[in-house]
């Protein structure tokens, strides 16, 4: 007989930030264990419930006892288990006795295999587990698997026994339909009662008459919304309604304020209340002179309030609070919260006013006293390196104005100074943001102030890029300094461990160069890292000047002298780029084909990928890719015989097929090259599709490795030109399966 099952553990207030995960884990682990014991159907529906004081699970189609099942146990070879007369040997009898079988019937023994491999099996029927047995095991395993942030050990009422759980547990409910399932855990025995809201429950205790009436009964008699998802949705609904009313009242316009969109805060508040009641409070408008990021953060982080902003993102003096009480007159709750938030905002106001008394420039010496890394010096050393790297990058622009150059120098030098402010000391999340406010207060240009805030961007996947070219350069310098420094001392990511977020920094560099419209090559950026490494991690960077940087860049670019971090940082960045592109939906072949050429401008990569995808859809693509791969293999084997600079000798073109290929290449390659130079990569690859027939004919009719060395060299030169023409956008051989 099957009924639905309900299991609940009642406890003291559970950790709010982990509550949703605890509820899901509890329900899913419980159901999985019951399914393994064949007590729950494979398609059983699992519903998780989680409130500040309880974890519960409702599981459909649970049996009172699992069905008996046939069991086949391998015993031993027939030659060992049976004598020549077919009677059990002492070895077999001993084995059977250990399994609890004294005198097996012949029908219980099964022979399988032939000859020496013939084996004896014991066939038996295992009685299905009862629900009480299976649920006991399932509950114990579910509790052991809970992702509890910090386990609490506490003594039971006997004063001797200690148990461990997220918080002290006070009740265990287990119902199969209307019947109590006798189990025990954490020193509790199961029953059919639970507790409702601490202050507003009409009944206490609450009797749950049937597993299917759990949520309904808790709401009616306990004033508790048991479902985390339903409670979250109710809070969101009330927040929006309260925000609309507040907007009309305060702004006296048709528009309305909206609560700050913060999913993590909504989850946390949902885990703090059992029956939410959204109320509106307000603070003194004088606090609006403080940067709103400070006010928003203190209200969210310290008080769990939802600040209100208008359609332009401007903070209102009203805020929303989610109460766990619903009195007829909420004025006492509102007044209490308004009194509590005032000193918080006053602290923020005090920090802001105190910080403004010192300039950012005056804080620079203080950075020398803040340790950045024991092998990389102080934050002051780091700031000097960031400034030097930023200065070195300015040489990569042909159109950078003097004002931009000066702004880059100022922003890079002052970018870390707000780390020493009181506001950032209280709220580290505001680093950069407060630097912008203080820079504006001192009269720096918006470009400098924005760059100070933006040099941390992008902070995470999907974050916005710095607003200006100045900000992008300083952000590149900051991320490159971290990468070069950590790589220089051997602190590279390993496996899943990346304590310095170097993968995130690499992805930030990639996004700025790809999406930032800078026209700056990755190689030009990495020249700064090369100097970083060549200087022996020089902490002062006194050696840096633009002339030296430009001279080093010309030498590096002209001679291919790839020293320093070229062999480490660039592959690391390209590896992160490949992962990111695949996550965007490009195939591994497409990504491999484009990145094989190490395109100098990362901003070109999306266009190259689009061109490769369009080319792959052409009917000629497969044949040309295969031919390209074949050409590459031939040239690789004959590398010593190829002189790429030698002109193609038309007089040595003997076969009609090689003449036709040379003529087609001479006609098509210039057109494809012209399209490539204009950035029309799709057009360039499409033009090359016309080479399919002459290429196929060449390989059908021409022997490349001719005995005459002059013919062989000329044909290899023709293939080298073919490969060079075809592989400007991407290495098309990588598309060949």
Residues 79 and 206 in one domain: no
For residues 252-281, give the mean pLDDT.
83
Is 246 part of any domain? yes
Here the tokens at position 596 are 């094989």
Q: Which residue has the higher pLDDT, 644 or 163?
A: 163
pLDDT confidence bin for 505, thresholds 50/70/90: very high
Query: Do residues 624 and 732 make contact, with C-beta atoms less than 8 angstroms apart?
Result: yes
Residues 191 and 45 in one domain: yes
Pairing of strands 152-155, 206-207: unpaired
CATH number at residue 480: 1.10.3210
Q: What phi-psi label fits residue 535: left (phi over 0), alpha (psi between -120 and 50 degrees) or beta?
A: alpha
Residue 315 host element (H or E): strand 315-323
> Concatenated DSSP letters for 185-214?
ETTEE-BSEE---TTT-SSSSEE---GGGH
Is 597 part of any domain? no
pLDDT over threshold 50, residue 546: no
For residues 267-290, give the mean pLDDT.
95
pLDDT over threshold 90, residue 534: no
Residues 252 and 336 in one domain: yes
Residues 46 and 141 in one domain: yes
Is 574 part of any domain? no
Residues 541 and 524 in one domain: yes
pLDDT confidence bin for 52, thresholds 50/70/90: very high
The per-residue pLDDT for 82 is 84
- State the chain's mean pLDDT as an integer: 88
Q: Which residue has the tokens 């910080």?
A: 355
Here the tokens at position 175 are 């119902």
Least confident of 33-47, 278-292, 310-324, 701-715: 701-715
Q: Which of 397, 56, 12, 297 is nearest to 169 (CA)?
A: 12
CB atoms within 10 A of CB 55: 27
The per-residue pLDDT for 607 is 94
Helical H segments across 379-459, by residue range: 379-393, 402-414, 422-426, 433-441, 446-454
Is 277 part of any domain? yes
Residues 36 and 176 in one domain: yes
Residues 202 and 304 in one domain: no
Number of domains in the chain: 5
Residue 86 makes CB contacts below 8 A (sequence gap 6+) with none
Residue 424 makes CB contacts below 8 A (sequence gap 6+) with 418, 430, 431, 434
Residues 306 and 430 in one domain: no
**Domain of 145, in residue numbers:** 2-66+130-226
Residues 371 and 469 in one domain: yes
Is 572 part of any domain? no
pLDDT over threshold 70, residue 341: yes
Is 611 part of any domain? no
CATH number at residue 36: 3.30.70
- Show which of 297, 329, 355 is a domain's final residue: 355
HSE toward the beta carbon, residue 217, CA cutoff 13 A: 17
The per-residue pLDDT for 640 is 60
Is 607 part of any domain? no
Going edge to edge, which strands form the sheet with 258-259? Answer: 258-259, 306-309, 315-323, 277-282
Q: What is the dihedral of CA 532, 538, 539, 540, to 10 degrees?
A: -100
pLDDT confidence bin for 643, thresholds 50/70/90: low
CATH number at residue 625: 1.10.730
pLDDT over threshold 60, residue 541: no
Is 580 part of any domain? no
Q: What phi-psi label fits residue 88: left (phi over 0), alpha (psi between -120 and 50 degrees) or beta?
A: beta
The per-residue pLDDT for 438 is 97
Residues 233 and 218 in one domain: no
Helical H segments across 442-488, by residue range: 446-454, 469-488
- Show which of 355, 387, 406 is a domain's final residue: 355
pLDDT confidence bin for 94, thresholds 50/70/90: confident
> Concatenated DSSP letters for 207-276?
E---GGGHHHHHHHHH-----HHHHHHHHHHHHHHHHHHHHHHHH-SS---EE---HHHHHHHHTT-SS-
pLDDT tens-digit profile of 154-203? 999 888 899 999 999 999 999 999 999 999 999 999 999 999 999 999 98
CA–CA gap between residue 160 and residue 187 (Å, rounded): 11
pLDDT over threshold 80, residue 638: no
Query: Is the bond preceding residue 169 a cis peptide, omega within 30 degrees?
Result: no
CA–CA gap between residue 448 and residue 443 (Å, rounded): 10
CA–CA gap between residue 528 and residue 538 (Å, rounded): 13
Q: Which residue has the tokens 């401007």?
A: 314
The per-residue pLDDT for 537 is 43
- Show which of 355, 374, 397 is a domain's final residue: 355
Residues 41 and 113 in one domain: no
pLDDT over threshold 70, residue 566: no
Residues 324 and 370 in one domain: no
């Amino acid at each position: 007989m099957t009924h639905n099952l309900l299991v609940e553990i009642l406890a003291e207030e559970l950790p709010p930030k982990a509550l949703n995960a605890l509820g899901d884990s509890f329900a899913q682990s419980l159901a999985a264990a019951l399914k393994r014991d064949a007590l729950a159907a494979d398609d059983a529906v699992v519903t998780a419930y989680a409130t500040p004081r309880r974890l519960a699970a409702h599981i459909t189609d649970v049996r009172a006892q699992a069905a008996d099942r046939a069991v086949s146990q391998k015993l031993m070879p027939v030659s060992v288990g049976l004598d020549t007369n077919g009677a059990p040997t002492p070895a077999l009898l001993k084995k059977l006795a250990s399994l609890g079988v004294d005198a097996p019937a012949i029908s219980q023994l099964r022979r399988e295999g032939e000859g020496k491999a013939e084996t004896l099996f014991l066939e038996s029927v295992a009685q299905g587990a009862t629900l009480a047995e299976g649920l006991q095991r399932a509950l114990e395993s579910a509790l052991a698997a809970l992702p509890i942030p910090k386990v609490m050990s506490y003594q039971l009422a006997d004063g001797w026994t200690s148990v461990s759980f997220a918080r002290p547990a006070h009740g265990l409910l287990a119902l199969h339909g209307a019947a109590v399932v006798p189990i025990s855990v954490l020193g509790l025995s199961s029953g059919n009662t639970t507790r409702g809201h601490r202050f507003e429950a009409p009944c206490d205790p609450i009797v749950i008459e049937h597993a299917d009436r759990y949520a309904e009964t808790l709401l009616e008699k306990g004033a508790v919304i048991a479902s985390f998802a339903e409670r979250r949705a109710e809070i969101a609904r009330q927040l929006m309604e309260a925000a609309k009313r507040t907007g009309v009242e305060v702004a006296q316009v048709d528009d309305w304020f909206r609560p700050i969109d913060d999913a993590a805060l909504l989850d946390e508040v949902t885990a703090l209340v059992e029956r939410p009641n959204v109320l509106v409070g307000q603070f003194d408008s004088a606090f609006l002179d403080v940067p709103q990021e400070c006010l928003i953060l203190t209200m969210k982080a310290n008080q769990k309030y939802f600040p209100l902003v208008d359609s332009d993102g401007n903070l209102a003096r009203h805020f929303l609070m989610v109460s766990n009480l619903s009195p007829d007159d909420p004025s006492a709750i509102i007044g209490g919260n308004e009194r509590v938030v005032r000193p918080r905002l006053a602290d923020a106001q005090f920090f802001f006013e105190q910080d403004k008394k010192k300039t950012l420039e005056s804080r620079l010496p203080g950075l020398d006293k803040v340790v950045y890394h024991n092998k990389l010096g102080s934050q002051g050393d780091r700031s000097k390196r960031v400034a030097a790297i930023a200065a070195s990058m300015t040489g990569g622009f042909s159109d950078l104005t003097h004002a931009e150059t000066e702004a880059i120098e100022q922003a890079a030098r002052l970018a870390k100074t707000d780390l020493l402010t009181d506001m950032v000391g209280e709220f580290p999340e505001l680093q950069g943001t407060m630097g912008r406010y203080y820079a504006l207060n001192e009269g720096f240009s918006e470009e400098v102030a924005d760059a100070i805030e933006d040099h941390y961007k992008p902070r995470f996947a999907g974050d916005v890029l710095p607003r200006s070219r100045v900000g992008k350069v300083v952000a590149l310098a900051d991320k490159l300094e971290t990468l070069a420094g950590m790589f220089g001392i051997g602190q590279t990511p390993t496996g899943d461990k990346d304590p310095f977020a170097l993968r995130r920094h690499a992805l930030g560099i990639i996004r700025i160069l790809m999406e930032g419209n800078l026209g700056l090559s990755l190689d030009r950026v990495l020249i700064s890292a090369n100097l970083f490494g060549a200087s022996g991690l020089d902490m002062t960077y006194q050696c840096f000047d633009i002339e030296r940087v430009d001279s080093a860049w010309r030498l590096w670019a002209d001679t291919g002298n790839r020293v320093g971090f070229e062999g480490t940082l660039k592959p690391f960045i390209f590896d992160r780029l490949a992962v990111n592109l695949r996550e965007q939906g490009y195939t591994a072949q497409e990504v491999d084909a484009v990145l094989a050429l190490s395109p100098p401008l990362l901003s070109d990569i999306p266009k190259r990928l689009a061109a490769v995808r369009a080319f792959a859809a052409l009917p000629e693509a497969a044949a040309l890719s295969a031919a390209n791969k074949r050409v590459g293999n031939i040239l690789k084997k004959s590398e010593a015989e190829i002189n790429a600079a030698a002109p193609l000798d038309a007089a040595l073109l003997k076969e009609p097929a090689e003449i036709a290929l040379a003529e087609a290449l001479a006609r098509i390659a210039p057109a494809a090259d012209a399209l490539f130079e204009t950035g029309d990569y799709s057009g360039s690859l499409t033009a090359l599709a016309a080479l399919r027939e002459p290429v196929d004919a060449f390989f059908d009719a021409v022997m490349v490795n001719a005995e005459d060395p002059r013919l062989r060299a000329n044909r290899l030169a023709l293939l080298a030109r073919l490969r060079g023409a075809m592989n400007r956008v991407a290495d098309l051989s990588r598309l060949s399966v």
